[in-house]
Chain A
Amino acid sequence: MITIDGKQIKLQIWDTAGQESFRSITRSYYRGAAGALLVYDITRRDTFNHLTTWLEDARQHSSSNMVIMLIGNKSDLEARRDVKKEEGEAFAREHGLVFMETSAKTAANVEEAFINTAKEIYQKIQDGVFDINNEANGIKIGPQHSTSSQGLPSGGGGATPGGGCC
Chain B
Amino acid sequence: MFSKPKSWISGGLWKPKNPHSLEHLKYLYNVLCKNQTVTEQNRSLLVETLRTISEILIWGDQNDSSVFDFFLEKNMLAFFLRFMRQKLGRYICVQLLQLLNILFENIRNETSVYYLLSNNYINSIIVHKFDFSDEEVMAYYISFLKTLSLKLNKHTIHFFYNEHTNDFALYTEAIKFFNHPESMVRIAVRTITLNVYRVDDRSMLRYIRDKTAAPYFSNLVWFIGNHVLELDACIRHDIDHNSRDRLADLVAEHLDHLHYLNDILCLNIHALNGVLTDHLLNRLLIPLYVYSLTQKQAYEQRTEERPHVSPAVSLFLLSQVFLIMHHGPLVNQLAEIILNGDHTVFECSPSSPDTASKLPGFSKPEEPLAQTLDSYRGSLKRRRKKKRQSYENPESDIKEVEDDEKSVQTDEGSTPLELNESADSVTPGADVPPRPHQNSTDEEKLLKSSSISSGGDVVAFSLDERPYLRAMFLALECTENDYEALFALCLLYALGHNEGINQNLLDTVMFPTEKSAVNNYNVSLVEKLISIITQSCQDGSKVRLATLELTSMLLRTLVHQPSKGHCWLQDGHLAAIEGGREEGTLQLRSFYKSEEIFLDMFEDEHRELLKRPLNVEYLTMDASILLPPTGTPLTGIEFCKRLPCGEVERARKAIRVFFLMRDLSLSLRQEEETSLPLTKDGECIRLGDVLDLNNSDLIACTVLYKDNRRERRFLVIDVLQLILVEPDSRRLGWGVVKFVGLLQDVEVTGDKEDSRSLHVTIHKPASTVHSRPLPLLAAKFLFDDHIRCMAAKQRLTKGRLKARQRKMQMIARLLELPGHIVDSMYQPAQFRQSSSSVVRANTSTPVGRARPAGGFFPGEC
Contacts and interface: CB of A to CB of B under 8 A. Distances in A.
Asked whether A and B interact, the reply is yes
B150 A27 contact: no
Interface string A48-65: 000000011001100010
Interface of A, helix, strand, loop or mixed by DSSP: helix
Q: Which of A59, A94, A134 has the most CB of B within 10 A?
A: A94
Contact of B187 (A29, A64, A136, A166): A29
Given A22-B191, A164-B106, A94 B259 contact: no
Q: Which of A12, A29, A60, A136 has the most CB of B within 10 A?
A: A136
A24 B259 contact: yes
Q: Which of A24, A134, A166 has the most CB of B within 10 A?
A: A24
B190 A24 contact: yes
A131 interface: yes
Interface residues of B, number: 33
Contacts of A59: 770
Contacts of A135: 183
Contacts of B183: 28, 31-32, 135-136
Contacts, number: 76
A86 B830 CA distance: 41
A134 B183 CA distance: 12
Contact of A24 (B246, B256, B621): B256
Nearest to B194: A22
B255 interface: yes
Contact of B249 (A25, A136, A164): A136
Nearest to B257: A24
B609 interface: no
Interface string A100-136: 0000000000000000000000000000000100111
B425 to A, nearest CB: 44
Contacts of B621: 60
A134 B98 CA distance: 28
Given A32-B184, A136-B245, A24 B262 contact: yes
B454 interface: no
A104 to B, nearest CB: 13
A94 B618 contact: no
Nearest to B248: A136
Nearest to A58: B770
Interface string B224-266: 0000000000000000000001101100100110011011000
B590 interface: no
A164 B194 contact: no
B460 interface: no
Contact of A95 (B190, B245, B255, B771): B771
Given A94-B771, A164-B58, A12 B245 contact: no
A19 interface: yes
Contact of B245 (A27, A131, A151, A166): A131
Contact of B194 (A12, A25, A27, A56): A25
Q: Which of B187, B191, B260 has the most CB of A within 10 A?
A: B187
A23 B257 CA distance: 11
B245 A134 contact: yes
Contacts of A136: 183, 245, 248-249, 252
A95 B770 contact: yes
B102 interface: yes
B772 interface: yes
A96 B190 contact: no
A6 interface: no
Nearest to A14: B184
B139 interface: yes
Contacts of B245: 131, 134, 136
Contacts of A29: 187
B63 to A, nearest CB: 12
Nearest to B186: A28
Q: Which of A12, A93, A151, A166 has the most CB of B within 10 A?
A: A166
Interface in B690-729: none
Interface in B95-132: 98, 102, 106
Contact of A94 (B187, B190, B194, B774): B774
Contacts of A164: 55, 58, 102, 106
Given A23-B263, A166-B102, A28 B187 contact: yes
A24 B263 contact: yes
B555 to A, nearest CB: 27
B767 interface: yes
A32 B190 CA distance: 15
Interface string B36-64: 00000000000000000001001000000
Contacts of B771: 94-96
A77 B408 CA distance: 75
B255 A25 contact: no
A23 B772 CA distance: 29
Q: Interface size for chain A: under 10, 10 to 19, 20 to 34, or 35 or more residues?
A: 20 to 34
A23 B267 CA distance: 12
B763 to A, nearest CB: 15
Contact of A96 (B139, B184, B772): B772
B183 to A, nearest CB: 5
B263 A22 contact: yes
B768 interface: yes
A104 B767 CA distance: 32
Q: Which of A25, A131, A151 has the most CB of B within 10 A?
A: A25
A134 B243 CA distance: 11
A28 B190 contact: yes
Interface string A125-154: 000000100111000000000000001000
Contacts of B186: 28
Interface string A75-101: 000000000000000000111100000
B262 A94 contact: no
B192 to A, nearest CB: 10
B259 A27 contact: yes
B256 A60 contact: no
Contacts of A25: 187, 190-191, 194, 263
Nearest to B256: A28
Q: Which of A22, A29, A135 has the most CB of B within 10 A?
A: A22
Nearest to A136: B249
Interface string A26-58: 011101100000000000000000000001100
Contacts of B263: 22-25
Contacts of B252: 31, 136
A25 B184 CA distance: 10
B190 A12 contact: no
Interface string B612-634: 00000010010000000000000
A23 B259 contact: yes
A118 B249 CA distance: 23
Interface string B627-652: 00000000000000000000000000
Contacts of B191: 19, 22, 25
A3 B186 CA distance: 29
B256 A93 contact: no
Q: Which of B259, B621, B772 has the most CB of A within 10 A?
A: B259
A64 B638 CA distance: 13
Contacts of B187: 25, 28-29, 32
Given A22-B191, A24-B260, A94 B772 contact: yes
A96 B770 CA distance: 8
B106 A93 contact: no
A14 B146 CA distance: 12
B768 A95 contact: yes
Interface string B171-196: 00000000000011011001100100
- By Cβ-Cβ distance, the 10 closest A-B pairs, closest first, are A24-B259, A24-B260, A28-B187, A164-B58, A136-B249, A22-B263, A24-B263, A164-B106, A95-B771, A134-B245
13 contacts: A23-B262, A24-B194, A24-B260, A25-B191, A27-B259, A28-B256, A32-B184, A60-B618, A134-B245, A134-B246, A135-B183, A164-B55, A166-B98
Given A28-B187, A134-B249, A135-B183, 7 more contacts: A24-B259, A24-B260, A24-B263, A32-B184, A60-B618, A64-B770, A164-B55
Interface of A: 12, 14, 18-19, 22-25, 27-29, 31-32, 55-56, 59-60, 64, 93-96, 131, 134-136, 151, 164, 166
